[in-house]
Structure 1
């Protein structure tokens, strides 16, 4: 539970400064920042429900999953063409130096967002139908969110999990991508 809360908090902190980063951003840099803010807001709005602080609302989870999925995958990667690392951007050069890993993370977010929608029928903290083997579900733990050597998350297995656990995986994907590919700004 503490690890889940720490992950959600860290993920929230990593994206909390995005709004301030819009100063001077134009064109595609501004477009991708707007997409990241939409994802940040989605995670922020769903966090109290996933922590049990507000009543569970399946429709809110479905809306959030759709928003995450809409900004992930190819939609996300299209917003990072080479040469779009101007001064207003928080994108690190590593995105273009290790495009395969960045692209894999964007695709993982899309998979996990789809699984979040599927898991919406599994309220937070509900029992899973059978034991979950994390090595097949998420490529061996942290590696799922990181490098390109991980196996892809199993969307069917994720969809069987309690929705709060799938939400945590989504937050971990965001956090891992930001850790590797987003520059820190003061």
Structure 2
């Protein structure tokens, strides 16, 4: 299953990155700020991985973890990478600034995916849309409604969809699990391109 294989591999890689961050204790200033943000996001990825591992998940847990990622990604992340900020123990590479467009794209995409995951968790936790109610002459209480032209001619009335049914839902976006797989892909791509190898 694509979700399981990508997510597990990415979570292992991200967890390794967190281990590297803990090994680089003592970071201060902007380097310390961004390393702390990366640790928060990595912990949230781990929480999401555990949440989705069993199939069913708690939408509140998913929302909270996704909001942490959303809060650290995008412009917030970009502001923590002023050009040339490679003071030890930073594990950022100079490619961040030589390919700022791609780095920015990944940071902003990560924020968008996290926001979508918040919405998907909300959607997943909402009550399901009831199925349309099909009625006909056999449906009690619908006798008069079923007396259409065909019934008056002695023909079997056409079943109809009740106007009481809710409108067909708008197209539903990606599942929370699919969004999580995209989040881990974005993290792994960013680390591969812009982080020193362990």
Q: Is the TM-score greater than 0.5?
A: yes
- After TM superposition, the structure 1 = structure 2 runs for residues 156-175 of structure 1, keeping only pairs within 5 Å, are 160-175=173-188
Is 1:49 the counterpart of 2:62? The answer is no
Superposition TM-score, scaled by structure 1 size: 0.74
In the alignment, structure 1 segments of 5+ residues that lack a partner are 124-155
1:10·1:175 contact (CA, 8 Å) conserved in 2?
no
Question: Contact 2:84/2:94 (CA < 8 Å) preserved in 1?
Answer: no
Q: Superposition pairs for residues 105-144 of structure 1, below 5 Å?
A: 105-120=106-121, 121-122=123-124
Moved more, 7-16 or 92-101: 7-16
Match of 2:3 in 1: 4
Partner of 2:69: 68
How many residues align structurally? 151
Mean Cα deviation higher: 176-185 or 19-28: 19-28
Deviation track 1:138-184 (CA, whole Å, cap 9, x = no partner) reads: xxxxxxxxxxxxxxxxxx98x61221111111111111111111111
Match of 2:191 in 1: 178
Distance 1:5 1:37 in 2: 22
- Return the alpha-carbon distance in structure 2 between the equivalents of residues 164 and 88 of structure 1: 34
After TM superposition, the structure 1 = structure 2 runs for residues 15-30 of structure 1, keeping only pairs within 5 Å, are: 15-17=14-16, 18=18, 19-30=21-32
- What is the SS of the residue equivalent to 1:160? coil
Runs ≥4 residues deviating over 3 A: none
* Partner Cα distance (2:74, 2:13) in 1: 20
Q: Given that residues 92 and 194 in structure 2 are in contact (C-alpha distance below 8 angstroms), is that contact kept between their aligned partners in structure 1?
A: yes
| C-alpha separation in 2, matches of 1:50 and 1:14 | 18
Cα distance change of structure 1 residues 23 and 68 upon mapping to structure 2, 3 Å threshold? same
1:42 and 1:67 in contact (8 A); partners too: yes
Report the alpha carbon displacement of residue 46 of structure 1 after superposing the two structures with TM: 1.4
Aligned counterpart, 1:146: none
1:39 maps to 41
Would you say the 8 A contact 2:106–2:186 is kept in 1?
yes
Q: Which residue of 2 aligns with 1:82?
A: 83
Name structure 2 gaps, 5 residues minimum. 126-169
Distance 2:35 2:3 in 1: 26
User: Which of 1 and 2 has greater Rg?
Assistant: 2
